[in-house]
Amino acid sequence: MSTSPSPDAPTGSHEQLLHRISDELAAAFDGVFSPEMVERYVFESYTALARTAKIRTYLPIITRRFARDRLTALAHAEGKQPSGVPEVLFVCVQNAGRSQMAAALLKELAQGAINVRSAGSMPAEHLDENVVTAMQEIGLELGEEFPKPLTDDVVRAADVVITMGCGDTCPIYPGKKYEDWQISDPATMDLDGVRTVREVLATRVRNLASTLITVP
């Protein structure tokens, strides 16, 4: 009996693009992962992102970024390409507000001294508009960011996992530090409310950074 292809599977030009992306990443991770594994990660990443995408025009572009980041995380977790810096993962349900804001704040503060990622247990289609605006107000652009599904590889790579509402959906691994920040969800807030969340996160992020690096 034949089965229908998954509605999230790539077709046509997207499939061709994903093969090209797979070749590109296989070259970048030559000697670290096999071309077959890289291709599997690329196609899995596309499918995961497609589940919440209503417009798929740019899916291959963000798939390249998502797959590369997952492969980088896996290489670090397996000791094949250690990053040499602390790794922090911020997780909230939709990865469209709190976790994106916290990640941007920590990246700006750490200036490369900490590797920062964010993800969502149930990622939204796009970032909250008020979140993007509130971060622009302090000079941080989130225009190229996108909600990413929570995957095992990024959790394994993290030294510190900060949750903001995903609860026990996050895998637990020994030797990692887990914190749960009780931060209000900006999804239903107006811009003033999001600004308040931004300032609360800025304080928490600075305190976190001070435990990992020397903060100027």
Q: Which residues are catalytic?
A: 92, 166, 170
Contact 68, 29 (CB under 8 A): no
Q: State how far the alpha carbon of 164 is from the alpha carbons of 78, 196, 204, in Å.
A: 27, 16, 12
Query: In the numeric block, which tokens belong to residue 208?
Result: 């976190």
Query: In the numeric block, which tokens belong to residue 3?
Result: 């089965």
SS3 state of residue 87: strand
The per-residue DSSP string of 17-46 comes to: HHHHHHHHHHHHTTTTS-HHHHHHHHHHHH
Contact 70, 45 (CB under 8 A): yes
d(CA 136, CA 130): 10
